[in-house]
């Protein structure tokens, strides 16, 4: 555990590269919600035409 703490400090200080980099894609929730709202409006206007 002490070794991993020392390694974390070295990475933070820029003395050492991290062995792994994990990245997660984050969905654009505003765009998704906007699309759902638009499709509801279109359906509603077609049904009431």
Write down the pLDDT at residue 38.
59
Show me where the domains of the chain are located.
19-48
- Dihedral angle over CA of 20, 23, 24, 25, nearest 10: -150
Residue 10 token pair? 């070295």
Write down the pLDDT at residue 42.
57
Write down the pLDDT at residue 15.
85
CA 21/CA 4 separation, integer angstroms: 16
Write down the pLDDT at residue 14.
85
pLDDT mean for each 10 residues of the chain (49 residues):
85 82 73 62 58
């Amino acid at each position: 555990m002490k070794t991993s703490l020392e390694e974390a400090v070295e990475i933070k200080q820029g003395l050492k590269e991290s062995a792994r980099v994990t990245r997660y894609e984050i969905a654009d929730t505003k765009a998704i919600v906007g699309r759902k709202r638009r499709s509801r409006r279109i359906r509603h206007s077609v049904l009431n035409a």
